[in-house]
Structure 1
């Protein structure tokens, strides 16, 4: 490979960050990445997907090589909104470097990691002369921070339909709590959201016998769910937890008993449950509590994502050893935190997550240490060398 085809990871990161790609807008981010990848020999395919009541989303699948095994880097170029732009020390889409720190939206989550995908691929291809048994691919979506309907999931479906198989995958989400090398994610808990509506009968507060106040009914259901012990955790997962996020009546009058009362809750759950089994458990608990008090309720379930676990084995060990040798610290193999698009990828191949430090993701003055970005590109290169050895 010509030396001019190498990729400098920091300038590429900045070029990506200068694109205001707030979900679902691409704002040119995928064009920047595609240009860099095609320069080093990747074949790129842009995939735009649509669905009802959701915006169209642009995605990118790029591949170098045609043989198996196919090692995939996966991530996203979309970012969350900037919030109060006046509160930022620098423009959120100006990618400013100060004292060795890169500031701007997407620095940590996760445009730097996407740039590291490209830079490490370029280094490995150059070092090997392009002569290795297998393929490298990038699956990059513009819909991870949003509904996640027209992104990774549909790209994976398209790949399966078109004979594109991936054998192992690293997702570049920011996984480290405080410093590089602390943590690799080998799984994530699932997410279940419940929208609870209790139906009573409105009336004058002076005549409660002519009404049925839904608030005590809702309180009883909330108490029942709050006292429900879902599990005690497992070897790899913490205990599942149910948290109420809203309770509302929407009543502006002080002398009217309302007709309805609502509450919303979210459950982050481990592999002791599935979305369907969890829904059955929740409904049984609510039915029991409702029967005691003659409560009429409705529950709408939003089944966000199943939990997943990539069991400790050769692949997770390969990734952990590459990190440990480069940084001198053996990373914890963890399942903590929220969710990611790895929840879709796990249906197709073993997947782990490793990226930058996540302390500033989604915050004002999001940032990443330049030394960490360069280390991440080195680690991804080491992973490729070990994988194709």
Structure 2
């Protein structure tokens, strides 16, 4: 039997801060090869990725898991109770280290579940596929996307997929994600006319126009939400003009805001609306407002049905809690997988992710492995 908690600790000991692989994927590849998986490194532009399949490429059914072994930097090492790459197991059964929650434990759980499942009860005419990237915490341009591109080019497929990100806010089993909001970040530049503050007739203040524009956005709700999504949210994150003089109107001012949007919107429709608002304020103020969008994810939903019901029922059977079907939180690599096959997210409690002293209960890792292994068994039954 593969010990998922021990594998979590081993992965934590690999200091795989994005984009470093640091031995994490090599460790997993060795374990999977020994269990009879076909393993391929799908690195792209220096980004480390791993694809593994047990069973035939043309199997009647294939079940996939997706996750990442890269982690965010640990921050101040002196602030940690235990070294961030120690994988320390304390007397209370907590595994400490960067990635303990997000998400080396999730990867360890589905790798251990997959190995034990195909070893103990190999499915007839079925395939188990694992896609693991080293670039989820970074730009993600060459991570899961690279694996999916490689799969398409090589005739590989997943019929359904679980992303093992931490999905539960406080209690294991309380939530699974069946979708995510979209995300678009805007950089705004307002171009005015610089001059002395005492001569307002000679200047066009870009800060006034920019604040007018941002206030209109911030005080006008985008929507009231949908059946599975809360209201879309717009948050201004920075405003700057670099002006150190109190008697000078600056020539230019900039701002950044992010929109997390639900399934009522597309980036194209949002952009058309924002550009129209900016143009109207530009015409009234004489200050040119230029918007540059960067879309990092589309809103998507995996409709409740056979796949969602299967996983939800097993989580409830294992935990005694019926998980809420949620679309909350930030983005994940599910935003890429959803273009390949139906996808949902279920993992551990995310309480300590990205924090100093990140840690996870070992018994929770074992529980997650049991959920994953039972999902595999019932999916192929």
Pairwise CA distance, 1:183: 0.4
- For 1:4-153, list aligned pairs within 5 A: 6-50=1-45, 56-66=46-56, 67-98=59-90, 99-128=92-121, 130-153=122-145
What does residue 53 of structure 1 align with? none
What does residue 163 of structure 1 align with? 155
Pairwise CA distance, 1:222: 0.9
Matched residue count? 378
- For 1:306-317, list aligned pairs within 5 A: 306-317=298-309
Q: 2:257 aligns with which of 226, 251, 265?
A: 265
Alpha-carbon distance in 2 for matches of 1:261, 1:291: 17
- For 1:288-303, list aligned pairs within 5 A: 288-303=280-295
Alpha-carbon distance in 1 for matches of 2:221, 2:99: 38
Question: 3-state SS of the aligned residue for 1:48?
Answer: coil
What does residue 175 of structure 2 align with? 183
- For 1:270-289, list aligned pairs within 5 A: 270-289=262-281
Gaps of 5+ in 1: 1-5, 51-55
Pairwise CA distance, 1:172: 0.3
Task: Determine if the alignment matches structure 1 residue 256 to structure 2 residue 241.
Answer: no
| 1:346-369 C-alpha deviation (Å, 9 max, x unpaired) | 011100000000010010001111
Alpha-carbon distance in 2 for matches of 1:313, 1:285: 40
Q: Is the contact between residue 225 and residue 286 of structure 1 (CA under 8 Å) also seen in structure 2?
A: no
Q: CA RMSD in A?
A: 1.1
Pairwise CA distance, 1:314: 0.4
Question: 3-state SS of the aligned residue for 1:377?
Answer: helix
| 1:296-328 C-alpha deviation (Å, 9 max, x unpaired) | 111111111101100000000000011111111
Greater shift in the superposed pair: 342-351 or 214-223 = 214-223
Pairwise CA distance, 1:279: 1.0
Gaps of 5+ in 2: none
Alpha-carbon distance in 2 for matches of 1:36, 1:163: 24
TM-score normalised by structure 1 residue count: 0.95
Question: 3-state SS of the aligned residue for 2:208?
Answer: helix
